[in-house]
Structure 1
């Protein structure tokens, strides 16, 4: 393993630890101990020929739904090892499936940190899987979108067994796609039978499938016992004595508390009440929906910071976020993931028009500026040329969505540029093609200048091949490179802004230097030209390419993101200080911070907000 591979591996390990162990597992405990969940084997839930043989030998008819209880306190990593690294984790909603999976991540991550030959455990939320896409392809895309792993590197890692995929939430896939998703998992298992894999799913949703997963073993998480509930509340503190008493007398509340999620929600909602507040958690008939209402209302009103949003605004904004995450099959939200498709349809058209006007203004200003400089130095003909170049560029950008001479603009897709690297093979190829194209354009420019008697003393056949080579080198050689750790919200946008400035400044300066050197060579070769005519061209080209280089390497994403958030705010869907609000919601345990992103504390809470009848 070379130094670069070791660096990328180290970054990925740290990212998994930050995202899932610090950001989710530790935050979900709120200072309490992890509850040892009771588990039972359910071998009939998976396709495993060896288990079939063992079941028949034991006197069971394979396919019968029988559970084999495990000793309380059995570590999930022991169950995983016993299953040979392929395991299905089942349970009821809120039973602790994701928490159990993250406990497994913790143990596997520790192994990977100590031994470079061990694979890196990576959590994938299955909700975003699109029907018809091979699971491996989807994983590579998810690595890029959620973990900022370059697609080429992600593909290599997956092929070489560097990653250990942990697939969370088969039940969170739309019911119309769920069967196909299970089949895609099995197809992936057939192509990579030696690759360790774990999957989580709600018991009822899995049992409704006709496709059993090709895994070695399945375990079912059991409801909490009253002793476990009481021990957990005792570990949190004396302040929950009232809740413990309510659970003893209220059977409905006690039944809800058998779910680790519901117990956690009761604990937080109760713990953050004022000391002298009346207890309402133990009221008769309180179900899950009502418990969520109490939880959200109390968390939204909980004061422990300087900024307080109105509970109605908090609920409305989170309801919109939950609906959009569900619509776009996301369980993890990054600020960088905001796309124009999240806007209402009329606003999507407004977004494109605003962006076109903004880019047109920027590009047109560069052309006119170069022309005005030419007017000062050489006369009206250079002003006309500069203005025409700017006008043509604006028209091409507006009509065809292309910034000459670069790639087409993706008006409706925000693509951040968070890391920039250099490719020498692509630079050589781009330089050769650019020089060839520049010679063709240079010949055309030479003919037109003679025909129109404008800028006849410009060495077009020298300048334009050099310029063309530089253009395609810039366009082709700058690539997304090594991984960087994203730990703060909006960090991808900030990286894009920084890369935009860097690329823009370097491009502009290098363009000016290279063109100046070309003119020095022309002077050495005794090619006649006038510096006054060429200076506006030189400076205008340097500024134009600097601006375009910056836009295409992060600047465009920054402009798109700014316009997008502005439109969402004007429509009342997000506050103007969105990151502060998301942090506020995370402080109140409505969201969780996962690295530089956010997720709802549980899929059930996302469902609750999504189903609220709020006009957003």
Structure 2
């Protein structure tokens, strides 16, 4: 606190200091400190002063409400969204991303298997189905973002997701069975449509089993961070490892079953992207996008937070950030 007073009132006469009650003197002190820190940086600041204050006020308010002392970028949660519309934007973003991954991959697979003219309808139908699945998963189980540093198996977690997985498998089976049956009906007639619909419907049920297996994989949290957003970056690395393993394993499996290798590789890709680490990355990306679009944070958040440490508003602690004084946090939070 003494350092803040020294920097804020440097060069001022004692007669110029306020002589009001404690709260007014404290407010005057922090206002003077904030202005003095901006003056020290001069006119060559990467962010406008008012925008910097707005972002700091929002961050301080969230940290105060969540009783956080150290802020980690990977600890951003959907609960930080302030309105129902923002929460819907976040959920829709997850659904769209899931729909694009599943829809495009499934559409390309159908194109390779059945030929031209089918990819548009197949991709559209399965893409909408994939979006529905992603939105359903988000609504049922993904209440918070859990970065994954290392992965281990949990029978308890798999058991807790058994009923949800069976429900998802049933929904996916109905979507896949109906869509593939509709596509085949337009090409080969009713008999083939029923046969293919049953086959793809049963394969869709396997999605529920895969979901249960994926939810059984649990990750340890980031205990010690040294770089900003370390948890999400390590989650991305784990997701890439699962993706490579899944693509190679399912590609070989498809080859042995005389199924198009691309189809097996696509299933492996989905397995890797929708593992706990991959889901955490998709959640984090969508949340950052919603916060950015609503003006709560800049896109390059780490760069901004590093800038505020140079302003001596925040202090870097490993991969996290703290306000240099709790009262400064409360000062910014009160102004939001």
Smaller-chain TM-score bracket: 0.7 to 0.9
Deviation at 1:388, TM superposition (A): 8.9
CA contact (8 A) 2:242 2:271 kept: no
**Which residue matches 2:269?**
546
* Contact 1:371/1:385 (<8 A) preserved: no
Q: CA deviation at 1:295?
A: 1.0
Deviation at 1:423, TM superposition (A): 7.1
Question: Which residue of the partner structure matches residue 322 of structure 2?
Answer: 599
Shift of 1:472: 6.9
**1:269 Cα deviation after fit:** 3.2
Provide Cα deviations, 1:30-78, integer angstroms capped at 9, x if missing partner: xxxxxxxxxxxxxxxxxxxxxxxxxxxxxxxxxxxxxxxxxxxxxxxxx
Deviation at 1:473, TM superposition (A): 8.6
| Residue 59 of structure 2 is aligned to residue 317 of structure 1 | no
CA positional deviation for 1:365: 1.0
Partner Cα separation in structure 2 for residue 476 and residue 344 of structure 1: 28
**Aligned counterparts of 2:311 and 2:39: Cα–Cα separation in 1:** 9
- Distance in 1, matches of 2:223 and 2:267, equals 30
User: Is the Cα contact below 8 Å between 2:107 and 2:126 reproduced in 1?
Assistant: yes
Q: 2:144 aligns with which of 413, 416, 426?
A: 413
Deviation at 1:471, TM superposition (A): 3.5
Are residue 300 (structure 1) and residue 38 (structure 2) matched? yes
Give distance in 1, aligned partners of 2:305 and 2:275: 29
**Is residue 103–residue 124 contact of structure 2 (8 Å, CA) maintained in 1?**
no
More helix by share: 2
SS at match of 2:316: strand
How far apart in 1 are the matches of 2:229 and 2:327? 26
Q: Per-residue displacement from partner, 1:141-200 (whole Å, max 9, x unpaired)?
A: xxxxxxxxxxxxxxxxxxxxxxxxxxxxxxxxxxxxxxxxxxxxxxxxxxxxxxxxxxxx
Greater relative contact order structure (CA < 8 Å, 6+ sep): 2
2:5 is equivalent to residue 279 of structure 1? no
Residues 483 and 496 of structure 1: CA distance in aligned 2, closer, same or farther (over 3 Å): closer
Which consecutive residues of structure 2, in runs of 5 or more, have no partner in the other structure?
A: 20-24, 159-165, 185-189
Aligned to 2:4: 265
Distance 1:610 1:591, change over 3 A: same
Matches within 5 A, 1:518-529: 519=257
Q: 1:179-578 alignment to 2 at 5 Å?
A: 261=1, 263-269=2-8, 278-280=11-13, 283-285=16-18, 287-303=25-41, 307-345=45-83, 346-376=85-115, 390=126, 393-394=129-130, 396-397=132-133, 401-402=136-137, 408-410=140-142, 413-421=144-152, 452-453=191-192, 471=210, 474-475=213-214, 478-481=217-220, 485-517=224-256, 519=257, 531=258, 534-535=259-260, 538-578=261-301
**Cα 1:477/1:385, change in 2 over 3 Å:** farther
Give, in angstroms, the shift of residue 500 of structure 1: 1.5
SS at match of 2:18: coil
2-structure distance, mates of 1:425, 1:343: 30
**C-alpha displacement at 1:483, in angstroms?**
6.1
Q: Assess if the C-alpha contact under 8 Å between 1:503 and 1:553 holds in 2.
A: no
Q: CA, structure 1 residues 476+322, in 2 after alignment: closer, same or farther (shift >3 Å)?
A: closer
Q: How far 1:476 moved relative to its partner?
A: 5.8
Secondary structure of the 1:480 match is strand
Number of equivalent positions: 301
Deviations 1:341-366 (A, max 9, x none): 22231222222223222221221111
CA deviation map 1:371-404 (0-9, x unaligned): 011124xx88x96996598257426416x6139x
1:395, 1:580 → 2: CA distance? 33
- Please tell me whether the aligned partners of residues 297 and 311 of structure 1 are also in contact (alpha carbons under 8 angstroms): no
- Cα 1:292–1:282, aligned 2, differ >3 Å: closer, same or farther? farther
Assess, with a 3 A threshold, how the Cα gap between structure 1 residues 568 and 482 changes in structure 2: closer, same or farther. Answer: closer
Preserved CA contact (<8 Å) 2:247 2:269: yes
Structure 1 residue 587 and structure 2 residue 320: aligned?
no
What 5-or-longer segments of structure 1 have no aligned partner?
1-260, 428-433, 520-530
Check whether the contact 1:419–1:484 (CA below 8 A) recurs between aligned residues: no
Quote the Cα distance in structure 1 between the aligned partners of 2:132 and 2:124: 12
**Structure 1, 476-485 or 596-605: larger mean CA deviation:** 476-485
2:246–2:269 contact (8 Å) kept in structure 1: yes
1:296–1:366 distance in 2 versus 1, CA, 3 Å: same
Give the aligned partner of residue 109 of structure 1: none
